[in-house]
Amino acid sequence: MYPQNLAPIPELYVSYDSAQKLKLEAAELFSHDLTPRQICDLELLMNGGFNPLKGFLSEDDYNSVVENMRLADGTLWPMPITLDVSEAFADSLEIGQDIALRDQEGVILGTMTVTDRWVPNKAREAEKVFGADEDAHPAVNYLHNKAGKVYLGGPVTGIQQPVHYDFRGRRDTPNELRALFRKLGWRKVVAFQTRNPLHRAHQELTFRAAKEAQANLLIHPVVGMTKPGDVDHFTRVRCYEAVLDKYPQSTTTMSLLNLAMRMAGPREAVWHGLIRKNHGCTHFIVGRDHAGPGKNSAGEDFYGPYDAQELFREHEAEIGIEMVDFKHMVYVQERAQYEPMDEIADKDDVTILNISGTELRRRLAEGLDIPEWFSFPEVVTELRKTRPPRSQQGFTVFFTGFSGSGKSTIANALMVKLMEMGGRPVTLLDGDIVRKNLSSELGFSKEHRDLNIRRIGYVASEITKNGGIAICAPIAPYATTRRAVREEIEQFGAFLEVHVATSLEECERRDRKGLYKLAREGKIKEFTGISDPYDVPETPELRVETENVEVDNCAHQVILKLESLGLITGQ
Ligand code: PPS
C-alpha cells in the first residue's frame, strides 16, 4: 500500500477578504464565459482535485502532456486541461493580461493570467490522447466541433467555487474528504468511480473490494459531465442513495465529483487515479474497459478491454494509489448469490445469470420485468420514473433536404397522423414557420443557418424532454450542426433523422415557390444546392424518395420506422 497523506492539499483560492476585493477588480477585466466543461475543470483546478496543476495548461505543458503524458517538468499528468476560446477573443488579448472567468450566469469564479496563447494541433491531440482522430469518440467530437480554435494557458486565482444547488451535502472538495477521513480514522479508502446507476453486482463487487483491502469504501460518482446519453445525475444520485443503505453501517460513504469525463479509457483511468489520490484515497477500482467511449466508426471498441488496467499498473507507484481489479460479478442462481466469474469452479453445473447494460436499457425502454436478483427495487423504481417505456417518451423527427424537396408536406402529413393516434402533444417546427416566428432576423449565411438550426434544436430538445413529439423540417444543410442538434436531443429522447432525398434536378423542376429560377438568375444569393452547399446525410435513420411516391406513403414510412423503434405502438 502507498502511504496515505491526509494533510491539506494546496488550493488555488485566495482568502475570503481578498476574494471580495479581487471580485470587484475582476469586474473591470476582459471576461471569458466558461462552457459547462470548463466550469467542471475550473472547479477541480481550484479545489486541488487536479493538483499539481496551478491553472490551465501552458503550451509547453500541453505539448508534453499530449506527447508523453507528463507535464514539461516530468510530472505524470495524462489529460490536457486547456482553456479553449474563440479566435476573436484570443486576438483581443495581450500576453500577460488577466482575464475574469465567469460561469454561465456571469458570476466571476476566478481570474487567469494569460501566459500562453496558441492554436493547437487538434488532430494530433486526438490521436495521442484519445487514440483516434474520429468524431465517433465523444471527446474528439468535442475537440473538433465544440471547442474553440485557440487555447489559452496560465495560472488561475480562485475567487469562489461554482454554485451547486443540488445535493449540496453530498459534494466535497478534496480537503473536505481528507478531513472527513481524518475524523473517521479511515486509514485505507477504496474509491469507486462510476457514471452509471449501481445494481446488486456493483454493490457486491465494491463491498468485496473494500473487504479484501481491509479498507473503507468511497462511492465517488461523476456528476459533472459523462457520456452523452447517460442516465442524468439527479436520477443516479437518488439511486446511489438507495444503494448506500445496503452496505454495513459506517463502512461506506458517498461523495459527488463534479468532473467532466473525456471517456479516454487508459489515460482517463490514470487521471481518475490521480484525482482520487488528491481526495485522500489509497485504493482505486479499475474495471474492464474503464471510461470506454463505446464503438468507433468501424464498430470496434476504441481501446482493448484491459488497456486501462495495464496503463494504470505501469504508473501505479507514481500515482501513489493501489489499483484494485474490478471483478466480473455474476449471479449464481442455485446459490442465490453474486460470485466473481473467475472464482466459480463448478461453472458447468450451475446457472449463471447476468443482464448486460444494453439488455437493461431494452427492458426499461419496453417496460419489461427487471428481476430482483439483478437490482434493488428502489433503484428500478427510480429508473422507471425517468425512463418510461419508449412509447411514452418524447422524441424528435428531423426532416432535412433541399428547398422544395417535400419536407414540409410530409411533415404536415406526419403531424396529422400522429395527432390522430393521440397520446402525446405534437409540435411542427417547419422551416418557413420558424423563420417567421423564431428567426425572422436571420439570413442564409452559414452562421445564420447554424443559429437557425440550433434554435430549432433547442426548442425540439425542450419538447422531447417534456414528453412531446417535435417534428422539424428545415433544410439544415450542415452535417456538423445536425449532429450537434442530435446530441442535444438524444439526452432526452430519440432523434430520427429523415433525409427527404428528392434530387436537386427534381426540386428545380418543381420549383414550387419560383425560388430556383431566381437563384439561377443570381437574384437570390447563397441558395442551397445552387450557390450554397448541402451535406447529404450519410446515415440517417430513414431516407425517403418522393419522386413517384405519394406524400401519404412517405409519411407512412416514417410511422413504420417509429413503430419499429418502439416509439409508437402499433394500432
Ligand atoms: S436553413 O438552411 O435550414 O436555415 O433553411 P430554412 O430555415 O429551412 O429555410 C429555407 C426556406 O427559406 C427559403 N429560402 C432559401 N432557402 C435556401 N437558401 C436560400 N438562400 C433561401 N432563401 C430563401 C426557401 O423557401 C426555404 O423553404 P423550403 O420550405 O425549404 O422550401
The residue whose CA has the least distance to atom 15 of ligand 1 is: 527
- Ligand 1: residues with CB < 6 A are 403-404, 408, 431-432, 435, 444, 449, 452-453, 474-477, 513, 515, 524, 526-528, 532
Long-range contacts of 480-486 (CB under 8 A, 24+ apart): 480/145, 481/449, 481/450, 481/453, 481/454, 482/398, 482/400, 482/453, 482/537, 483/135, 483/141, 483/145, 484/145, 484/146, 484/454, 484/457, 485/398, 485/453, 485/454, 485/456, 485/457, 485/460, 485/461, 486/398
Nearest-atom index, ligand 1, CA of 431: 8
Q: In this predicted structure, what is the pLDDT of residue 570?
A: 64
φ, ψ of residue 219 to 5 degrees: the values are: -85, 120
Q: What is the number of other CB atoms lying within 10 angstroms of the CB of residue 384?
A: 13
Residue nearest to atom 20 of ligand 1 (CA): 527
Distance 515 CA to ligand 1 centre (A): 10
Most ligand 1 atoms within 8 A of CB, residue of 440, 442, 444, 546 to mutate = 444
Atom nearest to 442 CA in ligand 1: 4
Q: Tell me the C-alpha distance between 23 and 25, whole Å.
A: 5
462 alpha carbon – ligand 1 mean position (Å)? 24
What is the whole-number distance in angstroms between the Cα of residue 431 and the centre of ligand 1?
7
Which of 75, 115, 196, 235 is an active site residue? Answer: 196
Task: Determine which residue's CA is closest to atom 5 belonging to ligand 1.
Answer: 475
User: pLDDT value at position 1?
Assistant: 78
Residue 195 a catalytic site member: yes
- Please confirm, yes or no, whether 194 is among the known catalytic residues: yes
Cβ atoms 43, 162 nearer than 8 A? yes
User: Tens digit of pLDDT per residue, the chain (571 long)?
Assistant: 788 889 999 999 999 999 999 999 999 999 999 999 999 999 999 999 999 999 999 999 999 999 999 999 999 999 999 999 999 999 999 999 999 999 999 999 999 999 999 999 999 999 999 999 999 999 999 999 999 999 999 999 999 999 999 999 999 999 999 999 999 999 999 999 999 999 999 999 999 999 999 999 999 999 999 998 788 999 999 999 999 999 998 999 999 999 999 999 999 999 999 999 999 999 999 988 899 998 998 999 999 999 999 999 999 999 999 999 887 889 999 999 999 998 999 999 999 999 988 899 889 878 899 999 999 999 999 999 887 888 989 999 999 999 999 999 999 999 999 999 999 999 999 988 899 999 999 999 999 999 999 999 999 999 999 999 999 999 999 999 999 999 999 989 999 999 999 999 999 999 989 999 999 999 999 999 999 999 999 999 999 999 999 999 999 999 999 999 999 986 5
Q: Provide the b/e sequence for 268-300 (b: ≥16 CB within 10 Å).
A: bbbbbbbbbbbbbbbbbbbbebbbbbeebeeee
3-state secondary structure of 93: coil
The residue from 175, 194, 253, 528 that is catalytic is 194
For residue 114, the CA-to-ligand 1 centroid distance in Å is 43
ipTM of the shown complex: 0.91
